[in-house]
Structure 1
Amino acid sequence: MAAYQLAQEALAAEFSGRWAEALAAVEARQIAGSLTELEAAYVAAIRESAAASYALSIAFYRLVRALETGRVVGGPGYRPGASLGSLWVDFNRATGKRTGSGPSTPLPVDTRNPFPAADPAREARRAAEAFRHQVADRVERHERERPAREGSAALDDPELVAWEREFLESLKTGGSGAGGMLVQDGGRDAVHIALQDDPGAIGYYRKTDDSPCYFCALMAGRGAVYKSKRTAAFGAHPHCHCQAVPIFSRRYQLPAENDKFTRMWRDFGGGSLADWRTYYRTTTKT
């Protein structure tokens, strides 16, 4: 599981790096006239990394399912005669690391394909919307403020330079957060939709990173979430690295972090989400 989560985080980081490079190639004064090129680079980077996230998640789902049920599921990437050994090879290739191996005995096959088909048009719309909110709208506001900020100041005026630097940093941070979420959603959606449509799956649990926000800690503290229409949404957010880990047997074991967050919620004793946020931040600082 750690290798899977780290690989998903690496894909988001890879996107963020490409976005930072695209921004670095344009000066702040030129960004308003470069939005078309920046959007094209932004959307292309998201779609490329999201496709890798999708493939990684399918390899992960198929491997976990086979390990827990002894059966392999069909769908994208399935190869006839698949074994635990070949599934580990596929997963290792997707993560870029050698994390496990298994026998080469072919597994029984469930031919049902629970994985969602790629929807390039939807992905492009979501990426374009993220760009509009996190980049284009910020640029528009920045350009409206520019005349008043510049006045008669020299281009190297420290306050003006700091203002431009802060603006560029907001584009980098906001664009990276929204785009990185969409990148990992390529895989998160694949897992979450598959487990809803897979008769062999019974639910999932939320695996957080090392320092989750108060919301993700609360969601992880729920423990196992059994599939139903009510639990059909995962609830990721910008800069979130949580993953849905599918469960195929009642004999699952939750990570220690989930148990810790469950105990924290119990000790909290109830209250509003804002109260929980304060309690969580205070508790995790001690």
Structure 2
Amino acid sequence: MAAYQLAQQALAGEFAARWAETLAAVEAREIAGSLTELEAEWSAAVRESAAASRVLSIAFYRLVRALETGRVIGGPGYRPGASLGSLWADFNRATGKRTGSGPSTALPMDTRDPFPAEDLAREARRAEETFRHQVADRVAAHERERPARHGSSALDDPALVAWEKEFAESLKTGSTGAGGMLVQDAGRDAIHAALQDDPGAIGYYRKTDASPCYFCALMAGRGAVYKSKRTAAFGAHPHCHCQAVPIFSRRYQLPAENGKFSRMWRDFGGGSLADWRTYYSTTTKT
């Protein structure tokens, strides 16, 4: 559903806006001395948006499952007597928009809870590692490079100012993409875990955004990915807005884009991933 994908993108956007505001309040040359405060802000922004992503994904999964099977699954957010009407209301609340409605007749329930408990310690470690890689390590390398490049240049030296500005923009781009991936991964991971533990689930397909990169186009071109431990990984990357759409019936219908990418792969005829990247770039520009 487009509403789900747009809502997940909006959550990544909320994180990006909050993080951009935090970075804007610190001069580039002062970032090294502000890492503790920056990490605290980064972690809080990721944590809050990721929690909303997880809630949204659970509401989406439960709604799609009910629409396709006529049954409701238990787990976080389930309320006794749930109906398509109440599931749509939960989904609308999570997206912040009214995207659908349904009858109030209570649905049969499958008591199994396929959604894993939140592993807050794991999520905190992942956020810490990502911040270290995308911010702290890069800032340390930048600080080491400054004396060699600019020596004792005045702080208002045009070359130094331009260099600091370029670094700040690069830091913002990299850390924003990585943080947005963590935010959306909270929801993607919830769906993947549920698929593995839900007997009613068959698999998923990859729903791309309007202009996916070569990798995402290739993954979407696979079509449906039937569940197994081997195929559980989704393969998202920074700035990726693809989502996993769960499948509960063999009568599913893939978006037109998936078929288009599958045909492109067949026309490509085989080769390395680098060759596919060139072919995809050339083909989509014509």
Q: Which residue of 2 aligns with 1:107?
A: 107
CA distance in 2 between counterparts of 1:252 and 1:259 reads 13
Paired residues in the alignment total 286
Structure 1: which 5+ residue stretches go unaligned?
A: none
- How far off its partner does 1:153 sit? 2.6
What aligned pairs does 1:106-255 form with structure 2 within 5 A after superposition?
106-255=106-255
1:84-123 alpha-carbon deviations (Å, 9 max, x no partner): 0000000000001110000000000001000111011000
CA distance in 2 between counterparts of 1:16 and 1:272 reads 34
- How far off its partner does 1:230 sit? 1.6
Between stretches 78-87 and 166-175, larger displacement belongs to 166-175
Q: Tell me whether 1:57 sits opposite 2:49 in the alignment.
A: no
CA distance in 1 between counterparts of 2:152 and 2:76 reads 61
- How far off its partner does 1:152 sit? 3.8
CA distance in 2 between counterparts of 1:16 and 1:224 reads 31
- How far off its partner does 1:22 sit? 0.9
1:176-228 alpha-carbon deviations (Å, 9 max, x no partner): 11110000001000001101110000000000001111110000000001101
- How far off its partner does 1:232 sit? 1.4
- How far off its partner does 1:158 sit? 1.7
Q: Tell me whether 1:260 sits opposite 2:260 in the alignment.
A: yes
Report the residue type matching 2:113 in the other structure: N
Q: Which residue of 1 aligns with 2:7?
A: 7
CA distance in 2 between counterparts of 1:210 and 1:13 reads 16
Secondary structure at the counterpart of residue 5 of structure 1: helix
- How far off its partner does 1:229 sit? 1.8
Report the residue type matching 1:219 in the other structure: M
CA distance in 2 between counterparts of 1:258 and 1:251 reads 16
1:66-101 alpha-carbon deviations (Å, 9 max, x no partner): 000000000000000000000000000000111000
CA distance in 2 between counterparts of 1:214 and 1:116 reads 32
Q: Which residue of 1 aligns with 2:41?
A: 41
Secondary structure at the counterpart of residue 231 of structure 1: coil
Q: Which residue of 2 aligns with 1:279?
A: 279
Secondary structure at the counterpart of residue 245 of structure 1: strand
CA distance in 2 between counterparts of 1:276 and 1:148 reads 40
- How far off its partner does 1:145 sit? 1.2
1:6-65 alpha-carbon deviations (Å, 9 max, x no partner): 000000011011111111111112111110000011011101100000000000000000
Report the residue type matching 1:123 in the other structure: E
> Normalising by structure 1, what TM-score?
0.99
> Normalising by structure 2, what TM-score?
0.99
CA distance in 2 between counterparts of 1:215 and 1:152 reads 45
CA distance in 2 between counterparts of 1:127 and 1:170 reads 19
Secondary structure at the counterpart of residue 135 of structure 1: helix
CA distance in 1 between counterparts of 2:68 and 2:153 reads 67
Secondary structure at the counterpart of residue 239 of structure 2: coil
Q: Tell me whether 1:78 sits opposite 2:72 in the alignment.
A: no
